[in-house]
Amino acid sequence: MYIYDEIDQRIVDDRVAQFRDQTSRFLAGSLSEDDFRPLRLQNGLYIQRFAPMLRVAIPYGLLASRQLRALAYIARKWDRGYAHFSTRQNIQYNWPKLEDVPDILEKLASVQMHAIQTSGNCIRNTTVDHFAGVAPDEIVDPLVWCEIIRQWSAFHPEFAFLPRKFKIAVSGAETDRAAIQVHDIGLQAQYDDKGNIGFRVYVGGGLGRTPIIGTVIREFLPWQHLLTYLDAVLRVYNRYGRRDNKYKARIKILVKETKPEVFRAQVEAEWAHLKDGPATLIEEEVERITKRFTRPAYQKLDKLASGYVLALGRDKAFASWARRNVQAHKVAGYAAVTLSLKKTGVAPGDMTDAQMEAVADLADRYSFGELRVSHEQNLILADVRQSDLFELWQQARELGLATPNIGLLTNIIACPGGDFCSLANAKSLPVADAITRRFDDLDYLYDIGELDLNISGCMNSCGHHHVGHIGVLGVDKQGAEFYQISIGGAQGNKAALGKVLGPSVSQAEVPGVVEKLIDLYIERRDSAEERFIDVVQRIGIEPFKEHVYGGHHKKPAGRGEQLAAA
């Protein structure tokens, strides 16, 4: 964890006081609704379908157990006893009262947390690989750079009112687990041949209405220039990004319309003025931030704990959980554990106050009091001794957090959808639930193997449907909720956007369509090792289309039967 110093704390406290003042001026009528809206949004506060929604930042997904306890306290005291982890490594409360929000922020500030820039047209929470610092394939630990970016982006005076929201993601590993190619800016931390740290800079990626894979505008940006270069990119965007149409206001449209090479030249021209200026990073600062991160005091352990190996052989259920939910760690004898928030019957990413407190206890007991939130809406205990895994599994199972489905079909990413969100065209959660129930047989799930299924309730793509191997998108069809299915999307190094399968289908039909896709996959795969996405890439989407819609691409085959089943 990064530990605030006195100044970091003061800035967050100042924000609480500022928002308290804005809220009271709004409630007293001296700040208009129109003027208050953009101000409250910059503090993560939406007015939603039923109540305000407050989005709290979990900077780069890192959370201390005492912070999780504070989040549980907030859920209990000011909400309805639960909260929702989003795909942005944030947490959302769906039922707070507007007049309580200043008190909630004060409680957050007391544990070094905030809701700064979690919404609005500004630089949002920076996201990162959820295995940062522990992944065996890591080249550069990205956390220090994330904190440097957090400080730079917090209340940046020039970029507080951009054309549209702006999201930065950082990865420091060989495998990209932070989806950096579909962010406004993606940074790949790496070393040059002299051993200096720098970043490959992607710009203009994004999902939403116009999904685009980012363009590399700089192969290697030495770390000293990180902030001046970001300033240059943001300034070009702030000045020239479109403000006439909010659907064309993201930086991806600017990059596309000006042409990536022209955009790059504009950034370079701007950067020529800023480069080597006062915002140029210095070693002292990198060192200072590095030292303010607490690091686990790892023990010297054997590479493989014998008790762990024995338990794997003895207990089949434990072994299947370990296979899916336990990831390798760069330190011998340790492992990273994913606690699944995707249990059948529970909305993806939702967690009760009691579960939060119990997980905080687990983090204290087994993982140095820290945890992470993944953009797949799960929680991760990143530093667990292998010898503790069996005990931890037993306890996680009692809490309903040990569903062994990480990477599998039922590890569904889903936005809150039409049940909560006023932007949504259609509901997401009942669809996720219906699919999860359809594939509740674990053996079958294992046989299907790795599969990302992502659901968004609308074009804003909070559920990342474009990069799901199977993507489900809620659409509005003359006032009725329908779902468009796409396949072939992928996240990571080989990021790809899914292709639409055919006409949209009703809510009741979605699980049947997914089942048909899976049937064809099982039939056509050349071995159990060939994943769903591999088969789609090999044979294309046509055979899947045929299989789902029959020859005539109209209605999904077996419609009547599926409706009856629903």
Partner 1 sequence: MAGIIKNRQVAANNWQLLKAGADKSLPAVPEGDVIVPLAQWLAQKDALLARKGRLGVWLANTDDPAVIAGDLNHFDLVAVDFPHFTDGRGSSIARLLRERYGWTGELRAIGDVIRDVVFYLSRCGFDAFDLKAGEDAKAALSAFGDFSEAYQTSVERPQPLFRRRAATAQAAAAK
Residues that bind partner 1 (CB under 8 A): 7, 10-11, 14-15, 18, 22, 31, 35, 38-39, 121, 151-152, 154-162, 235, 238-239, 243, 273, 277-279, 281-282, 284-285, 288
Q: Residue 437's CB: how many other CB atoms inside 10 A?
A: 12
How many residues comprise the chain? 566
Find the shortest distance in angstroms from Cβ 112 to partner 1. Answer: 15
Nearest to 237 by CA among 120, 159, 318, 293: 159
Task: Report the residue number, 39 or 265, with the smaller CB distance to partner 1.
Answer: 39
Find the shortest distance in angstroms from Cβ 231 to partner 1. Answer: 8
Task: Report the residue number, 13 or 103, with the smaller CB distance to partner 1.
Answer: 13
Tokens (6 digits) for 39 = 């101000």
The answer to whether the beta carbons of residues 548 and 501 sit under 8 Å apart is: yes
DSSP output for 140-172: S--HHHHHHHHHHHTT-STTSS-SS-B-EEEE-
Task: Report the residue number, 163 or 204, with the smaller CB distance to partner 1.
Answer: 163
**What is d(CA 128, CA 498) in angstroms, rounded to the nearest whole number?**
23
Task: Report the residue number, 155 or 446, with the smaller CB distance to partner 1.
Answer: 155
By CB neighbour count within 10 A (0-12 exposed, 13-18 middle, 19+ buried), where does 538 fall? exposed
Find the shortest distance in angstroms from Cβ 285 to partner 1. Answer: 4
Report which residue type is found at 334.
Answer: Y
**What is d(CA 299, CA 134) in angstroms, rounded to the nearest whole number?**
14
- 3-state DSSP call for residue 213? coil
**Residues contacting residue 549 through CB under 8 Å, at least 6 positions apart:** 501, 502, 503, 555, 556, 557
Find the shortest distance in angstroms from Cβ 287 to partner 1. Answer: 10
Find the shortest distance in angstroms from Cβ 269 to partner 1. Answer: 11
Tokens (6 digits) for 389 = 């895994």
Q: Residue 465's CB: how many other CB atoms inside 10 A?
A: 32
**What is d(CA 89, CA 128) in angstroms, rounded to the nearest whole number?**
9
Find the shortest distance in angstroms from Cβ 292 to partner 1. Answer: 11
The answer to whether the beta carbons of residues 396 and 406 sit under 8 Å apart is: no
Find the shortest distance in angstroms from Cβ 371 to partner 1. Answer: 26
Task: Report the residue number, 17 or 528, with the smaller CB distance to partner 1.
Answer: 17
Find the shortest distance in angstroms from Cβ 92 to partner 1. Answer: 23
Task: Report the residue number, 76 or 243, with the smaller CB distance to partner 1.
Answer: 243
Find the shortest distance in angstroms from Cβ 183 to partner 1. Answer: 20
Nearest to 556 by CA among 524, 517, 518: 517
Find the shortest distance in angstroms from Cβ 118 to partner 1. Answer: 17
- 3-state DSSP call for residue 52? strand
Nearest to 234 by CA among 181, 178, 274: 274
Q: How far apart are the first and last CA of the chain?
A: 46
Nearest to 509 by CA among 454, 435, 414: 435
Task: Report the residue number, 156 or 524, with the smaller CB distance to partner 1.
Answer: 156
Task: Report the residue number, 15 or 427, with the smaller CB distance to partner 1.
Answer: 15
Task: Report the residue number, 158 or 398, with the smaller CB distance to partner 1.
Answer: 158
Tokens (6 digits) for 208 = 């939403």
Task: Report the residue number, 26 or 131, with the smaller CB distance to partner 1.
Answer: 26
Q: Where are the beta strands (DSSP E) in 27-159?
A: 45-47, 52-57, 62-64, 82-85, 90-93, 127-128
Tokens (6 digits) for 184 = 């406004």
Find the shortest distance in angstroms from Cβ 250 to partner 1. Answer: 15
Task: Report the residue number, 35 or 174, with the smaller CB distance to partner 1.
Answer: 35
